[in-house]
Amino acid sequence: MNSLLIPSLPIELQQLRPDGHFGIEPLQAPVEWMRYCEACQEDQRFIADLRCDSGLIARCSKCGDERVVPFSRSEGETGNWEPYT
């Protein structure tokens, strides 16, 4: 992991974990997918270029709404994204 603080992120997400690792790190290659955006009220392309302990931090390519997308191996309950604010 890089020793990198990202100034635009909330301070809670920039703090060090007790084991000395940062809770957020950049992805080497951004991940993109289509998903319904609640703010735009239509399908949009979401781009994730950061990850945290809870999942990927993705933003809508149209309105910029940011969400934490939990890590999951199944597509069962995918409707509950956490707001990233």
| DSSP-assigned beta bridge partners for residue 51 | 25, 56
One-letter amino acid at 74 equals S
> Beta-carbon neighbour count of residue 75 at 10 Å?
6
What is the residue-wise DSSP string for the chain? ------TTS-HHHHSBPTTS-BSEEEEEEEEEEEEEETTTTEEEEEEEEEEETTEEEEEETTT--EEEEE--S--SS---PEE--
More confident of the two residues 82 and 23: 23
What are 8-31's pLDDT values in tens digits? 555 555 554 555 555 788 999 999
Residue 48 has pLDDT above 60, yes or no: yes
Q: Quick one: pLDDT at residue 3?
A: 46
